[in-house]
Structure 1
Amino acid sequence: MKKHPFEVWGSLVASKKGRWVTLGFWVLLVAVLSFTLPQINSVENKNAENLPATAASNKAEKIIEKQFPDNSGIPLLLVWHREDGLNNADYKKIQTLYASLEKKPVEKQSLVPPLSKVPPTALAQSASENGSTIVTPVFFDEAATTEQLEKGLKNIQKQVKDLEIVTTGDYSQADQLNLRYSGPVGISIDATGLFKNADFKLMAATVLLVLVLLILIYRSPLLAIIPLLAVGLAYGVISPTLGFMAEHGWIDKDAQAVSIMTVLLFGAGTDYCLFLISKYREVLLRIDDRFEAMKVAMKESGGAILMSALTVVIGLATLALANYGAFQRFAVPFSFGVLLMGITALVVLPAMLVIFGRVAFYPFVPRTEKMALARAEKIGKPVKQHKPSHKISRKIGHFVTSKPWTVIAVTVIFLGGLATFTPKINYTFDLLSSFPEDMSSREGFTLIEDNFSAGELAPMKVIVDTKGKEINLKDDLSKLDYIASVKEPQIGKENKDIQLYEVSLKVNPYSPEGLESVPQITKDTKKMMQEQGVSAAHVNIAGETASQYDEKTTIERDESIIMPTIIALIALLLFVYLRSITATLYLVLTVVLSYGAALGAGWIVLHYMLGVDAIQGSIPLYAFVFLVALGEDYNIFMISEIWKNRKEGKPLKLAVEEGVVHTGSVITSAGLILAGTFAVLGTLPIQVLVQFGIVTAIGILMDTFIVRPLLVPALTTVLGRYAFWPGKLFKKK
């Protein structure tokens, strides 16, 4: 009789000799890679662009670089503030700092305005209308790395310290001069610092959480450590390999992606380990020889583990189709990491389990009846067999198969009700809103926002080509009801027909209304040009508002491409594995429903409970990719058990019930661990990760406790043999 491929594989990697060869090879591989290649966390973050070069705002910036060159560099904005109004002593301190910067430039400083030579009264004219705030720039070399910018800022901070200026704490104190560092340089340094500090904390918190949960679930010290060892060995290959790729420019290292990848690997990796451990323990109750038991366990669970991993790998790989840079930078690390984690669960873990044998489960050692009797005779007292009780899972399985329509109605209404909150979600594309409120760059921005008019925060730059006609659009632009002010036009350096108008909006330039003004001002400006005789007028919009509008449209484009693609690919995988069109359809629909419910529930928690006004615009796509891929993981593992039961000839209801029973505890454990690891992101001071962690954790819990044990088995029961159509099991009575 021909052996099952995974049974053969089990005999290779988990035989008496093969176990040591397998483990030794992997440990040696980790050692070699760790000593010869850089770890991914040690590679410098490239700060790659998120918008493609073809984005309208990028094209506009290229025109500005050519026609209106400004070689001053990247600005660090120094935001000075005194609650009861800046005084002459404050202005003198500002001038003292700038005089020092002129004499002794800091690292990579390219330019400082000659503020030390300006009379204090003239400097005061640049302050806010209420006289409490002024913004002064220091420019740095555009080619400077984040590390060099950080050194330059630290040098400035040392000089500021000598001037007795307050840079932290409550800036509303009336009797002190406050300073905050913002602008592109301040934001870049703060962003890098956030992720730099988050890496170790995230790794430590994730490992500790998984360890505690494993001990609580299995109450076995060794069994808690073995999955973590397996994940650690996988990470030992993944991290230096990704570091090598990043160092050679094959991928762009993204600190945010690396942080989330750590969580995903420990969560998903532990899940794959639990799937095999659970099946191995079950087989050890009926087979004496641990090596033979592993072959059977691999045969019965290897296919589901491989399919689960491939589902996640393919799902995450679809991010490579994105135009948005951050999505693209996630694709390779995530899909590669999960692929290696799946391989580890099928290669290293079996070897480790047979090395430890039944001792791994101590003190709840699984024994066959024969072994239990032999041990009882040896020690002279009865030996208890530690069989899983499955009491709760059995009750759930029986209830679901007895009242499937009730289960379907209640779960669909509940999940659908939560999903109705998704249209109410507000989105933001502002990076600063993701920073902690007490971070210097965000506090500086808040001071500017509170003390200057909204449009002055980030003026729009409207660029037009007059095609040789005598045109001045300042007055026409000023008449638009959403425009606060317009400066006199600048004329292009190389092409005198190119004009640039700096426009301030009446609304916050980062608000949804501000973003929607980009297509509106483009349309209105084209109309003005046509009225003045310029046909087929070219209008380009630059500035922060235009960039964020392009970010919004780029993400919307990526959602329209990636979401259908991941559904189609996962559906194809499911069909190949299950040979059932019907099952493929309802398995995909259930996770999509679960995603909608998770997004709605996440908004309820974030907005109505935590007071968040808007979530980051990238969250829906990230959550969709992760929840659909990971949610299908659990469906595959449970549905595989139902299919196996039917192949063994069990009646449909019994096959479904037993499927719920035998996968209930392991999927519940896996779901709790995976949700817990994503919830760890909620402890970080980075709002985008907090929001992503909360939404994803909620979605995983819904898959674990509603979709997998209730909705999917209920649908399978109602559909009966049509759940297997058109496969072989459809014809089975």
Structure 2
Amino acid sequence: MLGLWIVLLAIASPFAAKLADVQNDRAVDYLPAGAGSTEVACIQDQLPGGEATELVLVYHRDGGLTAADRATAGDQVTRIAGEHRLVSEPEGVPSEDGATLMYPVVSTEPGQDEEKRDALVDDIRDTARGGDGLSADVGGPGALTTDAGKVYDSLGGPLLYTTAGVVAVLLILIYRSPFLWLVPLAVAGVADYLAMAVAYGLNQGFDTSVSGQSSGVMTILVFGAGTDYALLLVSRYREELRRFERPYDAMAAALRGCGPAVLASSGTVAAGLLCLLAADLNSSRGMGPLGTVGVLCALAAMTTLLPAVLVLLGRRVFWPLIPAFGSTPKQRRNVFAAMGGSAGRRPLTVLAGGVVLLGALALGALNLPGALKQEDSFTKTPESVTAMETLAAAYPGRGTQPITVMSPAGRADEALAEIRDTKGVGAAERGRRSEDWTEISVIATAAPESAAEAATIEALRERLDGSHVGGAGAQQLDLKETNDRDRAIVVPLVLAAVLLVLVALLRSLVAPLLLLAAVVAVWAASLGVAGLVFEPLLGFEGTDPGLGLLSFVFLVALGVDYGIFLMHRMREECLNGAEPGTAALTALRTTGGVIASAGLVLAATFAVLTNMPLVQLVELGFVIAVGVLLDTFLVRTYLVTSAGVALGRKVWWPGPLSKARPAPAGEPAREPAGAL
């Protein structure tokens, strides 16, 4: 097995290194093909020079620009126009107070080539220089895209190293061994490398969208889910080593014992993530396959490579707490037995209290800020955002980034007249043209990505038959509308897919519905906690439009994992003759420690995203980490256990376990051998 993995990695190596080359993080790359802003971008590619890169040069001096400042700005803009292919000669637009001067710059030089776009932005920034109190910043949609791309490109190394470091610390604390933690961590790294190669193959073979967000989440899933599977397997393996002399036999027994739960867990996550293929948004649709690849590669590595390595290393890998053959583990006070005892004594009271608590937390979602603007998506302010903030203060009565309208060439005059007659339009001018299309640049009177600008964009789309409306504001509007539509489609699919997997595994209808209700409540409570933290404490100006959908998919798919571990053990105890209430408490006592450890690891890996420099990643990591912790220490520990005690055999309805049956004569219910 070890040899097979070495060969597999040798084959995958050339492809894994290429994943970053196919990563796209333009706003338009996240949109569906049918969106108006996407149509505009596609038509721009066909115009002379290809897609345009729109920038704004912003010169500012507190107290007012001097004549020398204006001369410096003019000389620098002339130099830029001479060195680069611009659509038109830039003209300066002074602010009313005379402290700011902006030059809109539009170039077709880069086309769709991201490296050329970044090089253009960097070169213009090198040319546009201030000094002695004069600031010179380059903003606009093109600069925002460049800054966002650089942030995404920088995530790979820090994200991987931080995730690995967090997992390593937790594994050392959990295993209390100087060597054992290295094995699952190294295997998770191997799984991540394989996942990168498979993701690249999906992109080349099926044109699967790859973004910085989706590749980052894939890495998180590999380490988070993979370590969870490792914790379950190693825990069961440790127990079996006391019953079997040969490590090989102990591992075979461990795989038979926890294999079904691990397979069902990964299957549930994969089924939930694949439902994202029904999304219309490119970024969400691409997240599904990449997340599934991460989970399945983690599953493959942890059920084949990890067992092989552990068997080869033998018992000594557990040093100094080596489980000897025939020994009895030292009995320690079980905190989960105590927690289960409280749930067992007053199940309805505990259940009602937990439901009220989750409901109260969910109310915080009403305090979530509105949609996140493009310039608010950075945790640290890059130059492009500084430029846009200066523009917003200096030109409060007009837009500072254009709305692009692509009109059929034969209707350009009519379209231009209708545009100028539309409420909210400050100015409109023709730009490039081809035989079929004419580009019209529109400046709104409202601030970029504001509600007023959105109303202007919608009004233009209603009035202009046959034309397409795009630009940065239209892209953000399309992102929000498409996310709303995707949520209405994907959420029911996820619930149905997860329910089917749970019904097949648990042979029940009530238990799966109970688990689904629990994870949905956790999702709502997590968003509520986010509403109490994002703007009041972290100062975030908006919420990523895709946060609701992505957090739902991950929390439902991953949260059900722990329900599977718990309910699968409850069912096993019931099959061995235990009463449902006793089975619920026994399952919590024997699996609580492993589930808690797994939950901590998964929450910690997603919490790594909160240290990233992009607000949408921070928000996603925060909501999922909070949800996993709520699920691990409240829902699984108290609510599911108390519901199992309160419902009794009804929890297994309509399966055979829902009917009372006597234990086999002379065969008392056995005590569990150990944790999953």
State how 1:67-82 maps to structure 2 within 5 Å. Answer: 73-82=52-61
Q: Aligned partners of 2:116, 2:40: CA distance in 1, in Å?
A: 28
Partner of 1:731: 659
User: Is 1:719 equivalent to 2:644 in the alignment?
Assistant: no
Q: Which secondary structure state, in structure 2, belongs to the residue aligned with residue 617 of structure 1?
A: coil
Q: Aligned partners of 2:70, 2:550: CA distance in 1, in Å?
A: 47
Structure 1 residues 424 and 516: CA distance shift in structure 2, 3 A: farther
Given that residues 141 and 472 in structure 2 are in contact (C-alpha distance below 8 angstroms), is that contact kept between their aligned partners in structure 1?
no
User: Is 1:365 equivalent to 2:319 in the alignment?
Assistant: no
Match of 1:342 among 292, 299, 309: 299
Given that residues 60 and 540 in structure 1 are in contact (C-alpha distance below 8 angstroms), is that contact kept between their aligned partners in structure 2?
yes
What displacement does 1:45 show?
A: 2.5
Partner of 1:132: 99
What displacement does 1:571 show?
A: 0.2
Partner of 1:111: 86
What displacement does 1:32 show?
A: 3.2
Q: What one-letter code is carried by the residue in structure 2 that aligns with 1:150?
A: D
Q: Aligned partners of 1:590, 1:472: CA distance in 2, in Å?
A: 53
**Deviations 1:363-403 (Å, cap 9, x if unpaired)?**
122234x4x4xxxxxxxxxxxx5436351011011211221
Partner of 1:531: none
Match of 1:307 among 253, 264, 285: 264
Partner of 2:620: 692
What displacement does 1:708 show?
A: 0.9
User: Is 1:51 equivalent to 2:13 in the alignment?
Assistant: no
Given that residues 146 and 188 in structure 1 are in contact (C-alpha distance below 8 angstroms), is that contact kept between their aligned partners in structure 2?
no
Partner of 1:485: 426
User: Is 1:152 equivalent to 2:152 in the alignment?
Assistant: no
Given that residues 101 and 112 in structure 1 are in contact (C-alpha distance below 8 angstroms), is that contact kept between their aligned partners in structure 2?
no
Match of 1:447 among 390, 395, 411: 390
What displacement does 1:74 show?
A: 1.6
Q: Aligned partners of 2:201, 2:414: CA distance in 1, in Å?
A: 55
Match of 1:261 among 208, 211, 218: 218
What displacement does 1:72 show?
A: 8.7
Q: What one-letter code is carried by the residue in structure 1 that aligns with 2:100?
A: T
Partner of 1:23: 2
Q: What one-letter code is carried by the residue in structure 1 that aligns with 2:7?
A: L
Q: Which secondary structure state, in structure 2, belongs to the residue aligned with residue 37 of structure 1?
A: helix
Given that residues 459 and 505 in structure 1 are in contact (C-alpha distance below 8 angstroms), is that contact kept between their aligned partners in structure 2?
no
Structure 1 residues 310 and 513: CA distance shift in structure 2, 3 A: farther
Q: Aligned partners of 1:514, 1:301: CA distance in 2, in Å?
A: 56
Match of 1:141 among 89, 101, 109: 109
What displacement does 1:608 show?
A: 2.1
| RMSD (Å) for aligned C-alpha atoms | 3.1
Given that residues 76 and 184 in structure 1 are in contact (C-alpha distance below 8 angstroms), is that contact kept between their aligned partners in structure 2?
yes
Given that residues 555 and 627 in structure 2 are in contact (C-alpha distance below 8 angstroms), is that contact kept between their aligned partners in structure 1?
yes
Q: Aligned partners of 1:469, 1:253: CA distance in 2, in Å?
A: 37
What displacement does 1:466 show?
A: 13
Partner of 2:669: none
Match of 2:599 among 644, 667, 671: 671
**Deviations 1:213-268 (Å, cap 9, x if unpaired)?**
11112211222111102212212322223234435663233122112211121111
Aligned length: 658
Match of 2:450 among 492, 511, 518: 511
Structure 1 residues 357 and 71: CA distance shift in structure 2, 3 A: closer
**Deviations 1:441-467 (Å, cap 9, x if unpaired)?**
111111111111354223546788999
Structure 1 residues 236 and 464: CA distance shift in structure 2, 3 A: closer
Given that residues 81 and 179 in structure 1 are in contact (C-alpha distance below 8 angstroms), is that contact kept between their aligned partners in structure 2?
yes
Structure 1 residues 71 and 367: CA distance shift in structure 2, 3 A: closer
Instruction: State the identity as a percent.
Output: 31
What displacement does 1:63 show?
A: 7.6
**TM-score w.r.t. length of structure 1:** 0.83
State how 1:82-97 maps to structure 2 within 5 Å. Answer: 82-97=61-76
Q: Which secondary structure state, in structure 1, belongs to the residue aligned with residue 449 of structure 2?
A: coil
Given that residues 390 and 662 in structure 1 are in contact (C-alpha distance below 8 angstroms), is that contact kept between their aligned partners in structure 2?
no
Structure 1 residues 133 and 414: CA distance shift in structure 2, 3 A: same
Q: Aligned partners of 1:359, 1:486: CA distance in 2, in Å?
A: 76
State how 1:587-666 maps to structure 2 within 5 Å. Answer: 587-666=515-594
Given that residues 434 and 686 in structure 1 are in contact (C-alpha distance below 8 angstroms), is that contact kept between their aligned partners in structure 2?
yes
Structure 1 residues 101 and 640: CA distance shift in structure 2, 3 A: same
**Deviations 1:306-365 (Å, cap 9, x if unpaired)?**
010111111111111111111122122110121111121211122122222322222122
Structure 1 residues 82 and 113: CA distance shift in structure 2, 3 A: farther
Structure 1 residues 445 and 479: CA distance shift in structure 2, 3 A: closer
Given that residues 40 and 253 in structure 1 are in contact (C-alpha distance below 8 angstroms), is that contact kept between their aligned partners in structure 2?
no
Given that residues 313 and 339 in structure 1 are in contact (C-alpha distance below 8 angstroms), is that contact kept between their aligned partners in structure 2?
yes
Q: Which secondary structure state, in structure 2, belongs to the residue aligned with residue 222 of structure 1?
A: coil
Structure 1 residues 505 and 709: CA distance shift in structure 2, 3 A: same
Given that residues 489 and 500 in structure 1 are in contact (C-alpha distance below 8 angstroms), is that contact kept between their aligned partners in structure 2?
yes
Partner of 1:707: 635
User: Is 1:562 equivalent to 2:562 in the alignment?
Assistant: no
Given that residues 366 and 387 in structure 1 are in contact (C-alpha distance below 8 angstroms), is that contact kept between their aligned partners in structure 2?
no
Q: Aligned partners of 1:511, 1:466: CA distance in 2, in Å?
A: 30
Given that residues 125 and 138 in structure 2 are in contact (C-alpha distance below 8 angstroms), is that contact kept between their aligned partners in structure 1?
no
Match of 2:350 among 390, 395, 407: 407
Q: Aligned partners of 2:29, 2:37: CA distance in 1, in Å?
A: 12
Given that residues 16 and 193 in structure 2 are in contact (C-alpha distance below 8 angstroms), is that contact kept between their aligned partners in structure 1?
no
Partner of 1:17: none
Q: Aligned partners of 1:554, 1:695: CA distance in 2, in Å?
A: 21
User: Is 1:579 equivalent to 2:558 in the alignment?
Assistant: no
What displacement does 1:155 show?
A: 3.4
Q: Aligned partners of 2:530, 2:177: CA distance in 1, in Å?
A: 34
- With 130-139 and 313-322 compared, the bigger mean Cα shift is at 130-139
Given that residues 681 and 693 in structure 1 are in contact (C-alpha distance below 8 angstroms), is that contact kept between their aligned partners in structure 2?
yes
Q: Aligned partners of 1:359, 1:100: CA distance in 2, in Å?
A: 70
- With 147-156 and 291-300 compared, the bigger mean Cα shift is at 147-156
User: Is 1:389 equivalent to 2:332 in the alignment?
Assistant: yes
Q: Which secondary structure state, in structure 2, belongs to the residue aligned with residue 135 of structure 1?
A: strand
Structure 1 residues 55 and 27: CA distance shift in structure 2, 3 A: same
Gaps of 5+ in 1: 1-21, 116-122, 167-174, 373-384, 527-536
Q: Aligned partners of 2:170, 2:412: CA distance in 1, in Å?
A: 73
Q: Aligned partners of 1:158, 1:721: CA distance in 2, in Å?
A: 73
Q: Aligned partners of 2:442, 2:142: CA distance in 1, in Å?
A: 22
Q: What one-letter code is carried by the residue in structure 1 that aligns with 2:32?
A: P
Given that residues 409 and 435 in structure 2 are in contact (C-alpha distance below 8 angstroms), is that contact kept between their aligned partners in structure 1?
no
Structure 1 residues 340 and 411: CA distance shift in structure 2, 3 A: same
What displacement does 1:188 show?
A: 2.2
Given that residues 81 and 178 in structure 1 are in contact (C-alpha distance below 8 angstroms), is that contact kept between their aligned partners in structure 2?
yes
Q: Aligned partners of 1:245, 1:59: CA distance in 2, in Å?
A: 25
Gaps of 5+ in 2: 662-676
Structure 1 residues 294 and 439: CA distance shift in structure 2, 3 A: same
Q: Aligned partners of 1:671, 1:95: CA distance in 2, in Å?
A: 59
Match of 2:475 among 519, 523, 547: 547
What displacement does 1:513 show?
A: 4.8
Q: Aligned partners of 2:42, 2:51: CA distance in 1, in Å?
A: 16
Q: Aligned partners of 2:432, 2:107: CA distance in 1, in Å?
A: 24
Partner of 1:179: 136
Q: Aligned partners of 2:428, 2:253: CA distance in 1, in Å?
A: 77
Structure 1 residues 274 and 390: CA distance shift in structure 2, 3 A: farther
State how 1:131-530 maps to structure 2 within 5 Å. Answer: 131-136=98-103, 137=105, 139-160=107-128, 165-166=130-131, 175-247=132-204, 250-368=207-325, 370=326, 372=327, 385-387=328-330, 389=332, 391-453=334-396, 455-460=398-403, 480=423, 483=424, 485=426, 487=428, 502=442, 504-506=444-446, 508-519=447-458, 525=463
